[in-house]
Amino acid sequence: MAEKKSDVLQGTLDLMVLKTLHAMGPLHGFGIARRIEQLSKDVLQLNEGTVYTSLLRLQQQGWIDSKWGTSENNRKARFYSITRKGTRQLELETENWERIAAVIGRVLRLERQG
Amino acid sequence: MRWLRLWAAKAMGLLTGKRLNREFEAEIESHLQLLTERYLRQGMSRAEADTAARRQFGNVAVLQEKQRAQWSFASPAEWFGDIRFGLRMMRKKPWSNAAVVLALALGIGMNVAVFSFVNALLLRPPEGVTAMGSLLEIWLHSRTSTGVQSYMPFTYPDYAYYRDQSRALEGVLAFDGDGAPTIWNRSGQGQVIQGQLVSGNYFSLLGVHAILGRTISSGDDQTVSPHPVVVLSHSFWQHELGSDPGIVGRTLVLNGAAFSVIGVAPPGFAGLLVGSAPDFWAPLTLQEQFTHDKERLTNRHGYWLIVAGRMRPGIDARNVRAEMHVLAHQLELNYPDSNKDMDAMVYPATLVPGPYREYVSAFTGLLLAVFALVLAIACTNAASLLLARATGRTREMAIRSALGAGRARLIRQMLVESLLLSAIAGLAGVILAWWFARLLLELKPATLPIALEVPLDWRVLLFALLVSVATGILFGLVPALRSAAVNAAPVLKEETQSAGLRKSRLRSLLLIGEIAACVVLLAGATLCVRSLMHANTIDPGFDTQHIAVATLDPGTLGYSPEKVDAFYRQLMGRVQALPGVTAASYVNHLPLGTSREATSASRHIGQDPDRIRVDVFRVDPGYFSTMGIALLSGRDFTQRESDSPEAGVVIVNEMLARKLWPAQNSVGKRIALGGEKATSEVIGVVKSGKYRTLGEGPVAVVFRGTLPPARTLVIRTSADARPLLDEVRRTVQVVDPMMAATGTQTIEEYMSLPLFPARTTGLLLGASGILAVTLTAIGLFGVIAYVVSQRTHEIGVRMALGAQPTDVLKIVMRQGMYVTSIGLCIGLVGAFGAARLLAPLLYGIGVNDPVTLIGVAAGVMAVAMLACYVPARRAMRVDPAVALRYE
């Protein structure tokens, strides 16, 4: 099973985390991991620990913020939320990603036809 | 900008690290719990759920490690841990580490010592001078000759012209490069002190201000009625005058004339010339009081002034150079007689005068190269030791990497260990360097009037630091890369270690290089030592024992010629009466010293194509018998002949006799000496000797009478001359309390001057050679011993299968000798090349002296065999039963 999942592309995890926070509002690490799991429908294999590395990276860039709060089942948890700078960055990255994806898509289609 | 924010975050992390760690752990903990709960809900058992949660989360330790790395710099605590671990590793093998540190310390120490001389001579600016950067030295340069002889100091008229005409230079200063030995009348007793004559603008252009009173001004230094004033050096004021605060305005009697003290120079200031440390400075225009030469200020042929100028703001050296060429050309046109083909050269001002700097740098550069090679050998030793050790630590590295240490982390750990070694060695090296430098200064003949400061200042310490770090990285990097490239899985699974072929090949290469370097060094060292031994046996043409010498100059006291003669007559009478004295005489200066007088000689007056250059010595009767110079034919001077300028008699050496009158008896022949209107009669021929340097070819020499006031007294004794020295000093003061003899010494001590260059080089290179051999032997021994210990199992098997101990010996020896032979061949080729660099320093042996090369090769081979034999013996005694059980 495990072999069929693709490893998360370097750098794309940050983008996914940002998008998740943008779409869902403040979330804790476990929630983010669940959301990504849900959306990727088991296509992507993820060591959930790496989400935290990504969170720290984003936080050090000032793209997300964190606050301690209480989770739905009354546990103390750290909630992450996207900042204004993060939103701008997300737009930029999304654009970037789409452009690259489009190019790669075109190249791959070309291959198939040729 | 981004890295800045990251750094800021890391800096924040430094402050809040502990809290961040705690919070992060809590976060992970709750995440894991949530995951576990989910699996429990799916119906797993508690244990299963735990495992599944951990699997899904990934390696917690690695994550924490990464996280920490991200919010911190490599933390000081981590470095500290590395260092502590390194120290612990060092304590585990104290002896081999001590050996490495000692070898490196010697290598670093020698390099730092040599560099401290480079610094003292070439890098250090003169102390106390603020305007050094804008100072330029100017030298006269004769276009018709080459080498160091083509550069000349200035004459006073030339100096005055440059000083008054230059526009690019704000001012031009001059000082007497030779110094002025002066007799100071210290309450009735004569004491010789050193003065320096300087131009009136000297202190102001250098930016040196008196700490007491004032410095010499242009007003003091007028050509017409100059002021008899002196500025004292700080150390003279301190040591001889007890730091008298009221010294300004007082009078010193120098050379029999009164000078008033106008100021004291700042501490440390010793002028612009390396090696000179004047006790006082006096105006240039007072030179007659010190040199007894009336003409010097007008003489266009007397070259005695070292000249430097300060550039105007906005002017650079190129402008000055151009202007100096123009001025030189103007002088050439105005005074073709003296200034024809005379150019002016410009150098940045340093303690060593410009024209000599390249020789000094070439010599010190050679020494640095030699000791860099020694250090390289020490490095190879350390590297091969660490390599061997790295093999032993493969398991440790494998475990570390399995626990999550990255490659960079492992390299860092290993480098910290090697840097620790080199840091300790560097520290010890600086101490050794301080000691070496003192030792080298001790070698300087006491009579050489040179005061050299060799401070361990920041430049030297920086050099030591750089060398130590470079050394540590150099010998640590290869082993570090090697051990970091460990592949954990196979190492951890397998117990036996295969002796990696690649590793042993690298070690062999290191060894080959080491042996080659050792051969080069040893060949160079042996050449120098042999030449030194040779120099000691060179016959200087006079006896080198049972002779005492002393230098006297009553001329400095301004005595009339009659008074000078009376003094010398009285002194001679008393000296000859001293117990143990068998003969005594005077000479103007001894051969092989720093003074020289020369003229030309031929058979006829006027133009003679056979005119040859001859050196001149002026002697009193009895000089030849006192010095043990054989009179081959004819007779010695009489006292009357030697006193009278019109005597018209000379004695020649064998070389001159053979040149002018080949195959004839030259006694009774007439000789025409340069510039003289009448010929002189040759009354005797003496055996040739050495006159300028020990290494010179035959030189033609004329001996004649009429000694100047400055003379050297030579005394022959029946036994050791040393006890006589004090008697001689006392006798001089008895005859005239105002007189003081300088350079009172035995002839053996005197000979240390001409032998100084060869002795110093010989000693330094000898030390480097011995060091190189010792280090190489240790290196070879260490590696072979290591190989033997690695092959114990194999040797055991061989012996169990019937190999004889001698077979084992052969196997081990073959491995060592193979490496040695290759290194030897490469080294001999290198030695051929290196010997050419040494050629100018060698006396009487060829550059590619076969005896030396064969001897060195045999010696290295013998040492190598010994270094291999000891471990090989151990291999022979391996008990097969024990060896096979061993693994």
DSSP at B286: G
* 3-state secondary structure labels for all residues of B679-742: CEEEEEEECCCCCCCCCCCCCCEEEECCCCCCEEEEEEECCCCCCHHHHHHHHHHHHCCCCCCE
What is the structure's pLDDT at B430? 93
- Chain A residue with CA closest to B61: the answer is A49
What is the structure's pLDDT at A3? 38
Strands B711-717 and B581-587: antiparallel
**Model pLDDT for residues A28-47, shown as the tens digit of each residue:** 888 888 888 888 776 766 77
| Domain span including residue A96 | 2-113
What is the structure's pLDDT at B6? 60
pLDDT at A5 over 50: no
In the block, residue with structure tokens 């050790």: B389
Verify whether the Cβ–Cβ distance A53 to B2 is below 8 Å.
no
Mean pLDDT of B736-755: 82
Q: How confident is the model at residue B231 (pLDDT cuts 50, 70, 90)?
A: very high
- Mean pLDDT across chain A, nearest whole number? 80
B583 at interface of A, judged by CB pairs closer than 8 A: no
**Model pLDDT for residues B4-53, shown as the tens digit of each residue:** 666 666 666 656 666 777 778 888 888 888 888 888 888 888 888 888 88
pLDDT at B70 over 70: no
A56 at interface of B, judged by CB pairs closer than 8 A: yes
Burial of B376 (0-12, 13-18, 19+ CB in 10 A): buried
CB neighbour burial string for B146-178, b if at least 16 within 10 angstroms, e if fewer: eeeebbbbbbbbbbbbbbeebebbbbbbbbbbb
Calculate how close chain A gets to B5, using CA atoms only, in Å: 7
Verify whether the Cβ–Cβ distance A56 to B35 is below 8 Å.
no
What is the structure's pLDDT at B445? 67
Instruction: Tell me the Ramachandran region of residue B268: left when phi exceeds 0, alpha when psi lies from -120 to 50, beta otherwise.
Output: left
Strands B547-552 and B649-653: unpaired
Q: Which residue has the higher pLDDT, B675 or B631?
A: B631
Contacts of B39 in chain A (CB under 8 A): none
DSSP at B177: T
Contacts of A77 (CB under 8 A, 6+ apart): A28, A29, A30, A68, A69, A70, A71, B27, B30
Instruction: Return the percentage of chain B with pLDDT > 70, whole number.
Output: 91
What is the structure's pLDDT at B283? 92
Q: How confident is the model at residue B179 (pLDDT cuts 50, 70, 90)?
A: confident
Q: How far apart are CA B5 and CA B16, in angstroms?
A: 16
Calculate how close chain B gets to A29, using CA atoms only, in Å: 7
Backbone angles phi, psi at B206, to 5 degrees: -80, -15
Spell out the domain ranges in chain B.
Answer: 2-73, 132-350, 359-537+756-885, 547-751
pLDDT at A2 over 50: no
Instruction: Please report how many Cα atoms fall inside a 13 Å half-sphere around the Cα of residue B186, on the Cβ side.
Output: 10
pLDDT at B497 over 60: no
- Of the residues A28, A47, A75, the best mutation for testing chain B's interface (the one with the most B CB atoms within 10 Å of its CB) is A47
Q: How confident is the model at residue B76 (pLDDT cuts 50, 70, 90)?
A: low
- Chain B residue with CA closest to A45: the answer is B56
Mean pLDDT of B75-86: 75
Mean pLDDT of B167-186: 86
Residue of A33, A53, A61 lying closest to B5 (CB–CB): A61
Residue B26 neighbours by CB distance under 10 Å: 14
What is the structure's pLDDT at B517? 86
- Count of domains forming chain A: 1
Q: How confident is the model at residue B682 (pLDDT cuts 50, 70, 90)?
A: very high
Contacts of B56 in chain A (CB under 8 A): 47-48
DSSP at A48: T
Q: How far apart are CA B790 and CA B812, in angstroms?
A: 12
What is the structure's pLDDT at B450? 63
A22 at interface of B, judged by CB pairs closer than 8 A: no
Q: For residue A62, what is the domain's CATH number?
A: 1.10.10.10
Interface of B with A in 59-118 (CB under 8 A): 59-60, 63, 66-67, 70-71
- Of the residues B27, B33, B67, the best mutation for testing chain A's interface (the one with the most A CB atoms within 10 Å of its CB) is B27
Q: Which helix (H) or strand (E) holds B196?
A: strand B189-198
Strands B257-264 and B229-232: parallel
B14 at interface of A, judged by CB pairs closer than 8 A: no
The tokens for A94 are: 């999304």
Residue of A53, A62, A78 lying closest to B67 (CB–CB): A53
Verify whether the Cβ–Cβ distance A50 to B28 is below 8 Å.
no
Mean pLDDT of B622-630: 93
What is the structure's pLDDT at B681? 92
| ipTM field | 0.82
pLDDT at A1 over 50: no
**Model pLDDT for residues A91-107, shown as the tens digit of each residue:** 988 888 888 888 888 88
**β partners of residue B176:** B305
Min mean pLDDT across B319-323, B399-403, B432-436 is at B399-403
What is the structure's pLDDT at B57? 83
Q: How confident is the model at residue A4 (pLDDT cuts 50, 70, 90)?
A: very low
Calculate how close chain A gets to B22, using CA atoms only, in Å: 13
pLDDT at B253 over 60: yes
A77 at interface of B, judged by CB pairs closer than 8 A: yes
Quote the pTM value: 0.68
